[in-house]
Amino acid sequence: MKCVISVLAVISVSELCGSDLQLISNASAPYHLAEHDTGRASFFFVPGTDQAVRRHFVLNAERFGLSNQFISLMLELSDLGIPCVRFERGNHTFVGL
């Protein structure tokens, strides 16, 4: 059995522009991975470090209407090597993360 451990960023939606809140729950949003079944979180792939992929992400995110703040955040996560992000809608406390 092979075990792969990856990093997942957890970010409150309070860090996003109000215009992004409705868009991130849309399954058609660029790099959208999934929604938590209770609607409390949206999961996204982070675009990675390849410049062509990053440009593609930025173009699609802009076309979709996501804010420059959202795009910059995703690119910053990419620079940090974080492959996925969870945008949390609740005021939950995470222990051990």
Closest CA to 58 of 36, 42, 76, 33: 76
2-56 residue pLDDT tens? 766 678 899 999 888 889 988 999 999 999 998 887 778 999 999 989 999 999 9
pLDDT for 14 equals: 87
Q: Judge contact between 32 and 44, C-beta under 8 A.
A: yes
Residue 89 confidence class, pLDDT cut points 50, 70, 90: confident
When pLDDT is averaged across residues 91-97 and rounded to a whole number, the result is: 44
pLDDT for 26 equals: 92
